[in-house]
Structure 1
Amino acid sequence: MKLTVQTDQELWNAFRQGNPEALAEIFTMNYAALYNFAFTICHNDELSKDSIQELFTYLWEKRDKLAEVKSIRLYLFTSLQRLLIKELKKSKSKEEKNKIYQDEFPDHAFSAQDLCIFEEINEHLKQKLKSALDEIPQRMREALYLKTYNNFSYKEISQIMNISSQVARNYVSEALHRLRKILS
């Protein structure tokens, strides 16, 4: 099948009809953002990669049973988050999960532009920022990441995190407030 689609719905429908080029397109368009999001949640390179692979394998196997979606990206982020949470609950004890959430915020989750900016500030400020991010609760950090690095709306964040839009707004606002307070 030749892939000539214009919208998310057309791409999704081509994928659901078994077009491997549509699967490849969806994977290519979303892999980097999905990896960074997964790594932000679990701080584990292998688990992030494995979870994305598992998600796409599942989607391909169940493609004929999948419903239509309005936003492929939103669907993928929501599905990946659920898969990661399930994997973390299944494979880690409570103490291990707390350690994962408290690990250092990953440098490579930042965009290239952010890395250039960080290179311009001295090492002390970099360490202070990392420490400040570690002091923010994981759910707030996750909401802040979705808002600032993926430009999701509060409604989309609420769907991904399974919270209300107002709670998503509060998480982002509180995370920014805490960062400002810690860094000032």
Structure 2
Amino acid sequence: MKTSTVEFSTFDDITLWTSLKEGDEKSFSMLFERYYADLVSYGNSLSPYHEKVQDCIQDVFTDIWVYRNSLQHSVVVKAYLLSSVRKRIARLHERDHIFRKATNTDSIAFLLEFSVEHEFIDDDYATKEKVTYLNKLLNELPPRQKEALYLRYHQGLSVEQIAEMLDVNYQSASNLLYRGLLALRKEWKGTFSLFLLLSSSSF
């Protein structure tokens, strides 16, 4: 019996990943459609060359399909894809000499700006002026702290996954998050939760 599109869309990542490894093209397409927008958003945060970012994402998925038999059985799919795109863009930067040569991804600057939407804020909690100020605070953070916050609160990755993506140890990733939040808390006087604001930010 043929699986309907609606039923197929309810499959979790591990089910799709396992089916992809077995050569199921629908699973491959479903994962591509599920995460393409997130990968484009994140890729564009690391490079101003948006067409090349899309090429990198296509290359990542091409490699996944070609080398599917050798893929790990148990992965956090979203973290794996984000990390793969980051590494691909880092290699692109090195190859094209957009940044100085490096053996890791430290030379990539996080480019996207946080934007907490005014419409999300109830006037009982904070004024538009305060929200504008919070956006300013967020976007003045060092790039690595801002990227760590983005991965944690917008992409929902764990500290362990962020550490792996940024090629640092767990404590360093935890410190990036802590310092970013500490800097915001020192200045943020609104009563609305910083965590909720970060999770609802658009990029």
Q: TM-score, normalised by structure 2?
A: 0.69
- Deviation digits for residues 98-139 of structure 1 (CA, Å, limit 9, x no counterpart): x98385x346xx5xx747448x8359936x735752x43222
**Partner residue in 2 for 1:155:** 160
Runs of 5+ in structure 2 lacking a partner? Answer: 101-106, 122-126, 190-203
Separation in 2 of the partners of 1:72 and 1:121? Answer: 37
Note closer, same or farther for the CA distance 1:115–1:79 as it changes in structure 2 (3 Å cut): farther
> Which of the two has higher C-alpha Rg?
2
**Partner residue in 1 for 2:128:** 121
Structure with the bigger percentage of helix: 1
2:142 paired residue among 137, 143, 151: 137
**Partner residue in 1 for 2:99:** 94
Amino acid paired to 2:167 = N
Counting aligned pairs with the same residue, the percent is 24
CA contact (8 A) 1:146 1:152 kept: yes
Deviation, 1:42, is 2.1
2:173 paired residue among 168, 173, 176: 168
Amino acid paired to 1:46 = E
CA contact (8 A) 2:160 2:170 kept: yes
Note closer, same or farther for the CA distance 1:102–1:20 as it changes in structure 2 (3 Å cut): closer
Separation in 1 of the partners of 2:186 and 2:22? Answer: 51
Note closer, same or farther for the CA distance 1:131–1:91 as it changes in structure 2 (3 Å cut): farther
How many residues align structurally?
A: 175
CA contact (8 A) 1:129 1:183 kept: no
CA contact (8 A) 1:41 1:142 kept: no
SS of residue in 1 equivalent to 2:75 = coil
CA contact (8 A) 1:43 1:101 kept: no
Deviation, 1:16, is 1.4
1:48 matched to 2:53: yes
Deviation, 1:52, is 1.0
CA contact (8 A) 1:132 1:183 kept: no
Amino acid paired to 1:68 = H
Q: TM-score, normalised by structure 1?
A: 0.75
Amino acid paired to 1:77 = L
